[in-house]
Structures are given as C-alpha cells and as structure tokens.
Amino acid sequence: MSARAGIVVTGTEVLTGRVADRNGPWVADRLLELGVELAHITICGDRAADIEAQLRFLAAEGVDLIVTTGGLGPTADDMTVETVARFCGRELVLDTELEATIAGILRSLMARYTGVDFDAVMAANRKQAMVPAGAQVIDPVGTAPGVVVPGSPVVMVLPGPPRELQAMWPSAVASDIVAQAIAGRTVYHQDTVRMFGLAESALAETLREAQRTVGDFSALEITTCLRRGEVEMVTRYEPHSAAVYAQLMALVRERHGSMVFSEDGSLVDDQVAALLAGRRIATAESCTAGMVAARLTDRPGSSAYVAGGIVAYANEAKTALLGVDAALIDAHGAVSQEVAEAMAAGALDRFGADTAVATTGIAGPGGGTADKPVGTVWFCVRLADGTTVSRSLRLPGDRSDIRERSTTVAMHLLRRTLRGEAGSA
C-alpha cells in the first residue's frame, strides 16, 4: 500500500465558515503529486482537546504523515505546536537560534513604527521559538516557523496563512524525516484534460464506454467536475499504465475532439494570454461588469496586451462611453447582437485596440422576458481587420453563476476567434 497521509486544518474561523479553507485542498493536491494517498481532511477549532482528538483519529487510521495547518502565532489561541508536542510525547524546548531569527524578522517589521517596546513584542512572540525536542524547524516566511516532528506518524506543522504555508512547503517535504515517512509512496502520472461545450453527462457516457473497451481501465483513477462552465477530467495512473491512458484519450478525442481545448492542464486564460501576445485588447461589458477584464488582467504581464475596459451598465453609458447609437438600443434592446457588436466596435475605437470583446445580458433574477429570459447573454469578439464573431447563449444558474459562466464563454470565444476557429465558436 502506498504511503498515506491526513490533514488537520485548525481554526475556529475556518470551522464556522467565516474563512474558507484554502489550505486543505492545496495540501491535498501537493500530496497527490508526491504519490501519497490522502486518507482524511479534518477541520477543528482552536481547542487543544479537539486538535489532539484529530491527531489521535488519524494515527488510529494508520497514516504515515499528518499535516497540520494553522495555530502557530503568538496568541493564546495558537496552540498547535504545544498540542502536537504533547501528542508525540516530546518536551517543548526553546530554540535560541530560531528565537534570534524571529527577533530579526520582528525588528525589520517594527522599524517603520516609533515608540514600540521591542522587548515586549519579542516576549509575546518568544512562544513561537518553542519547538518539540528533536523536531526539524522550517524557517518562517512570516514570523511563525514550521516544524516536522519525528514519530509514527510523522507530524508536519505548518502555518495557517496560505502564502506562508505554500512558500514553506518545499522545505518541509525536503526534510529527511518526511522522506522516510513517505518512502512507500507510489509515483503517479497525473494528467488534466479540459473541455468546453460538453455536458458532464456526455463525458460520463464516454467513460462508461471506456470501461467496456479500454484495456485495464481499472488502472486509471479518474475524477471529473464541472467548473465555471468547463468540464475537467483529472486522471492519475502509474507509469506502466500510460498505454491505457492513451487508449482512453483516443476515445475522448474521437467523441469530443472539438470540445477538448487543453490536454496539458493549461487554462483557457493561459491560452488566451499567449494568443494576445503582440496584440492590444479592450473590453466592453454590461452584465459581467468588469469580470472579463479581471480575468484578462489576472496574469502578471497582462499590461503588455490589455489596453483597458469599459463597464457600460446603463444604456446611457453604452451610448456616451462606447458610441452605441441610442436608436439601435431602442430598436433591438440592450441585450441583442446588434448592441453587442456596437459595444465591441466602440471599445476598439475608444482604446485604439486591435481586439475587443463585449458582453451584454440578463443576469437576473429579474429583467427577463418571454423572448429574452434570464440567462440570455450576447457576446461579440471583434478584430481590427473587421472579423466579427457574435454568439448568444442562455446560461443556467443564479445571478452569480450566469455572470461567472459568461466570463468563461467570452474567454473561449476570444480563444477560438484568435485561433481562426470562429466558425466553430
């Protein structure tokens, strides 16, 4: 059996839902990449008894490694290290070298303030330099260090802020203690395929067919999910089963080839960014209210190709900011092919761009009609050479779903237009 792990996410704010758990899923993905089987993710509040109960539970499940997140700060409710030390039967000791490291970090942070009693601040933070005897210290990114505690199971203790945890992860897994704990891991390949315009049920039917026709199908561990209007298929398999995965992909391409847009895990956002190299794009948005522009500018370096965007929510804004003829809106309505195309043309003109994308629709819950029900959205991509591609869809879901899925449709329309596949967009 492969090495197995469990994750304990601590924090009353996470337990009660005030803060979403970002660490559990992230650590789970990293463990799977290492070939470590994930047994459980548990969430508990900032109570020593509850944290220890989760540790006992996972140990009883026979895991080789436990990863805890959170509870490493200087305050009274930060008790993970102390609890882990007690669970592992190890005394807490002051690490003077670590104390000096923390002091240096605090001096740097305090330098911008005046009148601060540094000794008092250091006394409050000395708790963070107390580590279980024999543990390996992971240097802090903030002020809280991580620790890896030997034993059966090994316990890796990491901070709660995702930025700090993620930065410390490579050092933590490079520990000899962790290496020994996961020595029995199985090395897997993991491939992610993304599809657009495909119903999840259609992919499920293809996978049922694969069960009947594809070699040792049981050697493939497949998960599928619908995410922002795209279907994602993640497949894990051992290297010797690569030929089986190749058979599966041949069937997927045969049935859904035109809908597969990524076989290497890349997002449509990544692909659009590459296609926009050397171009300048502008956005004109109504129902999505800047969400398309937000996706385009999510990537570092997007200033090289994003000229700007206009949110023209009111009809008067469409006329004043994008030059849409008021008579056009009166004749066809704001949610129409004609207005979407005029918005895209206006964005090209206003920003001197060579590429534009426009959205106008009814996100609801009100505003729909028999002819244009809630979820009706018009999209247009226009290029400086006159290429104009317009599409209308009726998207399902509530207001939030419609707006988010609209951004995905807009990105795919951009991708296909820039690739010269407008006829299949």
Predicted confidence band at 126 (pLDDT cuts at 50, 70, 90)?
confident
- Per-residue pLDDT averaged across 121-132, rounded? 84
Mean predicted lDDT score pLDDT of the chain:
94
CA distance 377 to 366: 14
What pLDDT is recorded for position 359? 98
Q: Is pLDDT at 6 greater than 50 in this prediction?
A: yes
Domains of the chain are: 4-182 (3.40.980.10), 189-262 (3.30.70.2860), 268-419 (3.90.950.20)
Q: Is pLDDT at 111 greater than 90 in this prediction?
A: no
What pLDDT is recorded for position 73? 84
What pLDDT is recorded for position 142? 87
What pLDDT is recorded for position 1? 56
CB atoms within 10 A of CB 170: 10
Cα 401–Cα 402–Cα 408 angle in degrees, nearest 5: 90
Query: How does pLDDT run across 154-213, given as a tens digit for each residue?
Result: 999 999 999 999 999 999 999 999 999 999 888 889 999 999 999 999 999 999 999 999
What pLDDT is recorded for position 114? 74
Query: How does pLDDT run across 338-370, given as a tens digit for each residue?
Result: 999 999 999 999 999 999 999 999 999 999 999
Query: How does pLDDT run across 371-399, given as a tens digit for each residue?
Result: 999 999 999 999 999 999 999 999 999 99
Least confident of 141-145, 255-259, 299-303, 374-378: 141-145
Predicted confidence band at 76 (pLDDT cuts at 50, 70, 90)?
confident
Give the β-pairing of 230-237 and 306-311.
unpaired
Terminal C-alpha separation, the chain: 46
- Per-residue pLDDT averaged across 43-56, rounded? 97
What pLDDT is recorded for position 110? 79
CA distance 153 to 135: 13
- Per-residue pLDDT averaged across 147-154, rounded? 97
Query: How does pLDDT run across 203-240, given as a tens digit for each residue?
Result: 999 999 999 999 999 999 999 999 888 999 999 999 99
Percentage of residues in the chain having pLDDT higher than 90 = 86
Q: Is pLDDT at 425 greater than 60 in this prediction?
A: no
What pLDDT is recorded for position 90? 97
What pLDDT is recorded for position 172? 96
Query: How does pLDDT run across 305-330, given as a tens digit for each residue?
Result: 999 999 999 999 999 999 999 999 99
- Per-residue pLDDT averaged across 67-74, rounded? 92
Q: Is pLDDT at 243 greater than 60 in this prediction?
A: yes
Query: How does pLDDT run across 127-141, given as a tens digit for each residue?
Result: 889 999 999 999 999
What pLDDT is recorded for position 424? 46
Percentage of residues in the chain having pLDDT higher than 70 = 99
Q: Is pLDDT at 422 greater than 80 in this prediction?
A: no
CB atoms within 10 A of CB 351: 20
Q: What is the spatial order of strands in the sheet that 189-196 belongs to? A: 221-227, 230-237, 189-196, 260-262
